[in-house]
Structure 1
Amino acid sequence: MQLLYYIFLTGLGFVMVYPLVWLLFASFKSNSEIFGSIHLLPKEYVWDSFRKGWEGSGQYTFGTFFLNTFILVIPTVVFTVASSLLVAYGFARFTFPLKKLFFALMISTLFLPAAVTVIPRFMLFGQFGWLNSYYPFIVPALCGGGPFFIFLLIQFLRGLPKELDESAKMDGGHSFTILIRILLPLSKAALFSAGIFQFIWTWNDFFGQLIYINSIKKFTISLALRMSLDVAASVEWNRVLAMSLAAMIPSVLLYFFAQKYFVEGIATTGLKG
C-alpha cells in the first residue's frame, strides 16, 4: 500500500513539474521543432534565445521591464502587508461601535467579482490623473491592503494571548508599542505568507496592468511578454519562452527562501481563531 502511495505521488509530481521542464527545453528549440516535434530534448540547440530575448526587438530591453516590475511590486507588497496588519490589529484587539458590521462589510468584498469594479476604478483613477502610472496599484495597497490578507491576519492575531497586551500595558506600553514590539515579531510567519501571496499576484498580474499602463517604457514583464507577440511579423517562440522562464525565477526563489515562514503562516492563520 505504501508503494502505491509513493508511485501516485511520484506520478503527480511528474505531471506538475513536466510543463516547467518542457518550458526550459523548448526555449532552446527553433519554431519548427517546437510545433513539429513531441520530443522533450531539442535535436539542435538554439543557444542565443535568452540573449536575444533579453535584448528585445525595440528600444527597451527586458532589463527595463524587470526593473519596472520590481518598482511596482515591492511598494505594493510592503504597503499591503503594513496596512493589512494595522486593520487586522484593530479588528482583533479593539472593541468599537459597529465592529461586527464593518467586519461583515469587509468580508463581503471578497465575494465581489473584480470585473465589477474595473470601470468605476478606471474612472476614479482617471480623475486623479493616475492613469499610465503605478499609483492605481500602490495607493490602494496603502489604504487598507486587501480583505483576504486582513482576514488572514485577524485569524492569526486572535490566536495570540491577550495577556501579552495586558502585560505590556502594565509596563506603560501603548497600543502602537504593543503592535510593533510584541505582536509584529510574533506575526512574522503570517506576514511572510501575506507578502508572498501579494508578490506573486502582483508579479503575474496582466489584466490590471493592461488597463492602467499604456506607455512602453513603463511596461512590466507581463505586458512586455504580450507585446513581444505583437511587434514582430514572425514570433520567435523560443525567445518568448525563455523570457517567460526568466519571469518565473523571482517568484520561485522567493517561495523557496521563505518556504518555512509560508507554510507556518498558512497553518497558523488557517487553524487559529
Structure 2
Amino acid sequence: MSRLIRLLISYDGSGYHGWQRQHNGITVQEVVEEQLAVICRHPVALHGAGRTDAGVHALGMVAHFQTSTSIPVQAFSRGLNSMLPRDIRILAAQTEQPDFHSRFSALGKTYRYDFFCGEVQLPMSRKYCAHYPGAFESERIQPAIEALIGSHDFASFERSGSRDPSRTGGRGAVRTLYQLSCTPQLGRPEHWSIRVSGDGFLRQMVRIIAGTLIQIGCSRREPDSMAAVIAARDRTAAGMTAPACGLYLEKIYYHHLFDH
C-alpha cells in the first residue's frame, strides 16, 4: 500500500544550486531524492513546499513523497541522516493524509534575513550573513515596514523575468504580508534580522524587500518612499536584491498561521 510521507528538512544552502533539481548544478532535492531511492528501493519524486535559490538556507523546509515500502516512518529520518551529507538534516518524518501537499496545503511562510553592519565581518560568517558596513538606523525603516504590511501587488519586488506577465489567471503578483520586523540580534552588536511572514512570496521577493529596507536604514533611500515603490509595480523602482547568503526559510504553516 502506498503511503505519503512528510519530511521536515534543514539545510545549509552554501554548497547547493538551490532546492529544486536542475541541470546546471547539484541541488538539495536531488541529493535527498537519491538517498530516498536507496532506502525505498524504488525511484522517489520529492515535492517541496517551494524553491530556494542558490546559497539560501532552510531551517524548516517541508517536502513529501509517496512510497510503497513498509519500513517504519521513523526510519526515514534516522536512515537519511546516516546517509546524507552533514549540511542536510532531516528533523522529522511523519505519515500524512493522502490529500496533503507540501506546497498547495501551505497557508503561509516565515523567512528571516540576517545582516551585519560592522566594519569587518568575520570570515566564518560570510556564507550566512550579508555584510553592509556603516551606520544602520532601524527607526528609519518603520514607515516602510508599515507600508509593506497587508495585501499589495508586489511586482516591484519580484525578480525581473521570473513570471510571465501575460498570465491573467491566479492572483498575479498580489501577496499578503502579515508580519514584518527588523530587530537586533541578542548579544551580537551590529547584527540585525529582518523577519517577514506572509501567505506566499514571489521569486526573490524577500531579498528585494530586505535590500530596499537596508538601503533605507543606511540612509540611501527615503523612509517614506515605500508606498511609491509598491504603487510603481516595476522592479526598477525598488532597491537592491540582497545577497542569498543572509536568507533563511524559517517555517511553513499548515494548520494555523504562525502556530508553534
Band of TM-score, shorter chain: under 0.3
What TM-score comes out, normalization by structure 1 length? Answer: 0.22
RCO higher in structure (CA 8 A, sep ≥6): 1
More strand by share: 2
More helix by share: 1
What TM-score comes out, normalization by structure 2 length? Answer: 0.23
Larger Rg: 1
